[in-house]
Every structure is written in structure tokens, then in C-alpha cells.
Amino acid sequence: MSVLVVNSGSSSVKFELVDPDSGDSIAAGLVEQIGELQGRVVLDYRGETIEKRREIADHAVGLAVAFEILAGAGVELGADVTAVGHRVVHGGDVFHEPTLIDEKVLQQISDLSSLAPLHNPPNVLGIEVARRQLPNVPHVAVFDTAFFHSLPAAASTYAIDREIAKKHHIRRYGFHGTSHQYVSLRAAEFLGREDLNQIVLHLGNGASASAIESGIPIDTSMGLTPLEGLVMGTRCGDIDPGVVMHLRRSADMDVDAIDELLNRRSGLAGLTGVNDFRELGKRIDDGDADAVLAYEVYIHRLRKYIGAYMLALGRLDAIIFTAGVGENAAGVRADALANLRGFGIEIDPERNMMRSKEARVVSTEGSAVTVLVIPTNEELAIARAAQKLARTTTGV
């Protein structure tokens, strides 16, 4: 039996059929260019890639085409799927754990859209469509913010008027929680230590860092929204809030224009015009000064968080790199941890250059802090959470 994992975005939907017991991916696909005349649905199933192009007017049409392709490949969703797990970006202060979706829960997720206007609305849309397509199986929401819900108050509280903060639910929520939780558990298993103090660096187009003490997060880089923290592909990360007022007054930019600037036209893309690390590397090799500066800004911010979290933890046992950049960019790992031998951190150049889909050590034998590369698997984590809740609440 399997769990269907759905990650619905504004113009695309990722989906994967997962065996939560074995951890195997049965089929994985992508619906993209929703709302366009030439939408695209791609499915990878048993080593074969199936692609269809047609007009995809909305998410309902896109998922219908995806289910049609799955059925054509021999996957009987109605018979094979025991639960559907939905990634939901923001649970606010309402949802702290995987939750069985009903009409009330769906409305609550929608109501939280003010905290995540770019993410929760398409999440809700994907849930609605999937519930219509598969009405007879439990649907479970797994929240990106849940892992960080129990952050210490000192780490989660913004120093603004407390009544305003309370009224408008303003606090540091943190994101990528499913990935940070999965990877930190894998690191503890890999090293055979439950008392592991670790820094997890989830580095992709979106990027975040966390400090985790014996399995419990004590700090993370993202805040009320995913905008805070590290420099990212298109997001600025930490920035003086005065920049927002300055742009409003001097550039006459309204809230939506500033939101667009900081979320979609900043970060590496804002500094160089590209947010793909492969292209950035090519430009650096060609001597592009903007690309060199962007990379230096990226590494500088990353090292600041590593240093801060070393101090917050007091004792550091491991540093974990994960996600697209973290898993594949050896140069980023080397530069992020360069010249830290005095802190017990030493990368092994040969190990660091090796590629593998498995968890691996990239530090030297003599490094007091173990540096690991651990591939994240948010889909598997969501599938297992959905299966567990479905079995508990419905006996499936």
C-alpha cells in the first residue's frame, strides 16, 4: 500500500506515490505551467518518463491529467492509496502536528493565508482538488512550521509591542521544518547518538539553518515568513526593516511592489540575474564581478549563522548539509567551513568532492565536529506522518 504526497504551488503541483514502510518512491511527477495553453505533466514510473502537454486551465485539470497518466501506467490510486499527505507551508499558531483534513481544518488553513499569501492559497486549492479526486481516503496536512513550534520564547519572540504581536500572530515560526526534522533524525541514527547537538543547513533555492539540541530545535533562521535568514535564490534574507520604509517613501513603492522585490527579485537573482548555482558558478569562472560578490555575500551570511548557532548550542557535534545546493555544491560546503580548524571543524577535500545519494561524512578523521551530507526526503517524511495519523484515527 502507498501514500500519495501532494505539494501544490501557485503554478505547479508536485506529487509522489511513496511506500512509507520501505521508503521506496513508486512514482513521482510534476504538473507545471498551470493556466497556460501548453501545460506540462511529467511522470517518472519504474524507470520510464511519461510526458503529456495539453491546456491545463487550473489545478483540477492538472491533477486529473496526472491521475489519468498514473492510471494509464497501471497505478490504481483508488485501490492502492491508503492516505494522501499534503504539504502545507504555514500552520501559524493553530497547527503543531500532522492533522486530518476536514472542512473546518481546510477553512483554518485558508484563514492563515495572511501569514503566507504566496503559499497557503495554492496549498488549499491542491487539497480541494485531491479530496474531490480521492474522496474515500484520509487526507492529512503536514505543516512546514510544525517542527519549530516549540522554539524557546527567546528565539521565537520579536521585540515589538506585545499586544500588536499577539493580535496579529507575529512571532518566528520557522520553515522547512519537515526537512530539518527528517535530516536531524537521520544524522542521529547515522552517528548512533540521541544527544547529538547539530546545525542543519537546508540549502536550496529556499535556504534555512537550524540549531538542534538532542532532537529539539532551539533556533532557526526563517521567521514569520520564509523571507528572513539566509540569502536565497530570489529572497533577500535578513534585511534592515528600515529598507521597507525607505522604499515606500523615496521610491513610492507600495506593499505589493516591495513584497515582489524582496521575495522574487532579490537574493542571488537580484544581485546577478540568475538563481541557479550552476549558472552562478559559470559566471564566477568567467570573472563576472557581480557573480563573485553575490557568492561572497551568500557565504558570509551562511558563516554568520553557523557561528551564531555554535554559540547557541555551546557544544557542537555535527554540521549537516542538505537540499539541492547543500547536497551537490562541494564548493559551498568547503567555503562555508573554511579555516575553522580552531573550532574543531575540518573538511576533507577528497571526501567533500565525492557524490552519493546516501548519507556520508565529508569531514576529516581528526575533525572534532562531524560534517555530514544527508539527502533530504520531505516526501517520505510527509508520507510516514500521513500514514501514521491515518492508521491512528481511521484504522486504515
Q: Where in the sequence numbering do the catalytic residues fall?
A: 144
Helix boundaries (H) for 29-151: 59-72, 77-80, 103-111, 120-133
DSSP 135-177: TTS-EEEEETTGGGTT--HHHH--SS-HHHHHHTT-S---S-H
Assign residue 47 a region (left: φ > 0; alpha: ψ between -120 and 50; beta: otherwise): left
Q: Which pairs from 308-311 meet CB under 8 Å and 24+ separation? A: 308/219, 309/199, 309/209, 309/210, 309/211, 309/219, 310/199, 310/343
Query: What is the pairing mode between strands 81-88 and 99-100?
Result: unpaired
Contacts of 278 by beta carbon, 8 Å cutoff, 6+ apart: none
Contacts of 34 by beta carbon, 8 Å cutoff, 6+ apart: 11, 12, 13, 56, 57, 58, 59, 61, 62
Paired with 28 in beta bridges are: 16, 44
DSSP 366-378: T-SSEEEE----H
